Amino acid sequence: MFNILYAPQVIFTLDPAQATFSKGDNLEFKCSGQGNPEPTLTLTKTETNKDLIIVQTTELTHTLTLSCTDTGVYACSGQNSQGTTEQEISIGVSCRQQLSPLFYLTHKVDPAIEAIIGETAHIDLEIYGYPEPTALTLQRLYDDTDLTSSPRHSVTYTASAAPFGAVNVTISDLVEADLTIYILTVDNGVGEALKYIFHLNQVDANEDALNIAAIVIAVIAVVIIAGLVVVIIFLLKKIRGPKDRLNSKCSDPRESDPQKKQNDDQLIPLEMPTTKDTTPVSAKTAQYETIQYMTSTSGTYNSTSPQNVEAPNFYMDLEPNHATIGNYSNVSN
């Protein structure tokens, strides 16, 4: 028996089998695929390219409780080694036009639009709902006149990925009377129409020029300050160079030769002179340790000692304020 390989054959249906639904309805997607080898089935919302469910069987079912943003195109695809087969179904969930969640995050309610006399003002709204808007009107507050019929006023709708779109308002050749409050109405016949209120505020062109000039001056000031900092750093380096070289010449040469410094730092013990054997002298002719002690007594002093006596190793306190008194002699045998 032959084993014939072939790409999937996909059947995609809805339950209930209709294209338009209401918010809160339950919708079941059913998809089946036959192929050899057995295909993988995937249900995807094409606007977001988001896979809702993936199965490895020949039958796929998925249920949604519908909301406004579920409007769009859904695809069921079957894939195996022989190829991919896909079917699409579009559904719409009836929902009034509303400002998109992203617009609420990035714009103020009842915003003030800056405008300059003689130029053009632009207002853009991001909205969503199903079906698309069928009526767009622009009015001044407390005035029922529809301005969309005026050549200076334009209101247009541009669809994007369902159920989203954008409304653009343009008012050209602005005059003093245009600086007022406006009401934009967007209606698709489902529920209450969307009403968006905005107002045009005049901006002084001279004030804009002054603001631009202030910004330019600030930028120039920053550049000048940065340049001065660079120059100061350069000059400091130029001054510091000769100073560092002078310090290096005046520094202890031992710092550059650690071994020499270590040798020089070692203390060499000094050998103190010793006294040869001597004959003791009488107490009357004993050695005096200091000049101060010697000057405390006047008179003549004789010291008799052997010829082979060397001077003892001692310090004498030579104080400058003491004068010698008496005569001193050293008589050797």
pLDDT in tens, 297-308: 444 444 444 444
Confidence (pLDDT) at 102: 80
The mean pLDDT value for 62-89 works out to 96
Percentage above 70 pLDDT, the chain: 67
Nearest to 79 by CA among 6, 12, 8, 30: 8
- Residue 321's SS3 state is coil
Confidence at 118, pLDDT banded by 50, 70, 90: very high
pLDDT in tens, 12-26: 999 999 999 999 999
Confidence at 233, pLDDT banded by 50, 70, 90: confident
The mean pLDDT value for 34-56 works out to 95
**φ and ψ at residue 18, rounded to 5 degrees:** -150, 170
Question: Which range, of 49-58, 153-162, 306-315, averages the lowest pLDDT?
Answer: 306-315
pTM of the predicted structure, to 2 decimals:
0.58
CA 218 to chain centre: 23
- Amino acid occupying residue 288: Y
The mean pLDDT value for 277-301 works out to 48
Helices (H) and strands (E) in the chain, counts: 4, 17
pLDDT in tens, 129-172: 999 999 999 999 999 999 999 999 999 999 999 999 999 999 99
Confidence at 33, pLDDT banded by 50, 70, 90: very high
